[in-house]
Amino acid sequence: MKLITAIIRPDRLPEVKESLFKAGVRGITISRVSGHGGQAGITEQYRGIPFVVEFHEKIEVRIAVSEPFVQTAIDAIVRAARTGNVGDGKIFVQPLDQVVRIRTGEEDTEALTPVEAV
């Protein structure tokens, strides 16, 4: 089992969500986050006073999948999120030691939302 965390541009969320659903991924968690990676700070003006915007608004998408569907989920995210410009985001894949579905008590892969193979 793996936890896939993707940091993407906010304007790419509809495409990423649609791509994941088409790939058969159903269970996702989405959060608004801010940060920066390779993007430099942008100087903007507010009421005539320049200021540097160091952190950029991003969307964090989290998906827990069983091992066979890791690459399917990654491919769906990359396909929909890539613009070719700095700031497209990152995908992190981490091991999951245990998953428990609270409602039923199911554990591990049985507790994950099913992903249909494409």
pLDDT in tens, 1-20: 999 999 999 999 999 999 99
Angstrom distance (rounded) from CA 93 to CA 2: 6
Low pLDDT (below 70) residues in the chain: 38-41, 115-118
CATH number listed for the domain at residues 2-108: 3.30.70.120
Query: Do 62 and 7 contact (CB within 8 A), yes or no?
Result: no
Angstrom distance (rounded) from CA 94 to CA 65: 11
pLDDT at 31: 97
pLDDT at 2: 95
Model's pTM, two decimal places?
0.83
Q: What is the pLDDT of residues 99-109, one digit of tens each?
A: 999 999 999 98
